[in-house]
């Protein structure tokens, strides 16, 4: 069994973080879905010419969704490392983490409606 090596440099810390980000994007369908949402939000933002404050809100919300998904994924991976056999307590932890992502994703959709809705209404009226 390989021994885990503690991160001792800033460069190694960043390398590990980017490896985690890359792994999540390559292997996690939900993360890919959230990244697609980010791309759509950016396109809408540019197309609808949202203002500075709206950009700040949008970037904050989208970053929050991606962060929540990464935390959820890390919890899933950590619990799978403990045991892959069914465990009621681990299932509750995974389900609760997934629920946190779901709530934040609904919040992000609500923010998108508030930011983009009036601009889209103007565009099509």
- Hey, how many other C-beta atoms are within 10 angstroms of the C-beta on 69? 24
Sketch out the chain's domains with CATH numbers: 29-123 (1.10.287.3610)
Enter the pTM of the model: 0.90
Residue entry with tokens 């991160």: 7
92 pLDDT higher than 90 = yes
7 pLDDT higher than 90 = no
Q: pLDDT category, 3, cuts 50, 70, 90?
A: confident
Q: Mean of the pLDDT values across residues 13-30?
A: 97
DSSP string, 69-111: HHHHHHHHHHHHHH--S--HHHHHHHHHHHHHHHHHHHHHHHH
Q: What pLDDT, on a 0 to 100 scale, did the predictor assign at position 82?
A: 94
Contact 70, 24 (CB under 8 A): yes
Each residue's pLDDT tens digit, 31-73: 999 999 999 999 999 999 999 999 999 999 999 999 999 999 9
Q: pLDDT category, 122, cuts 50, 70, 90?
A: very high
- Report the greatest alpha carbon distance in the chain: 65
CA dihedral of residues 77, 80, 86, 89 (deg, nearest 10): -60
């Amino acid at each position: 069994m390989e021994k885990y090596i503690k991160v001792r440099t800033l460069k190694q810390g960043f390398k590990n973080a980017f490896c985690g980000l890359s792994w999540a994007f390559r292997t996690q369908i939900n993360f890919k879905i959230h990244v697609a949402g980010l791309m759509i939000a950016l396109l809408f933002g540019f197309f609808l010419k949202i203002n500075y404050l709206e950009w700040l809100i949008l970037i904050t919300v989208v970053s929050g969704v991606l962060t929540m998904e990464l935390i959820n994924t890390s919890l899933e991976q950590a619990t799978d490392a403990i045991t892959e056999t069914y465990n009621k307590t681990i299932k509750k932890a995974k389900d609760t983490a997934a629920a946190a992502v779901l709530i934040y994703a609904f919040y992000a959709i609500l923010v998108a409606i508030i930011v983009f809705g009036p601009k889209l209404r103007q565009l099509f009226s």
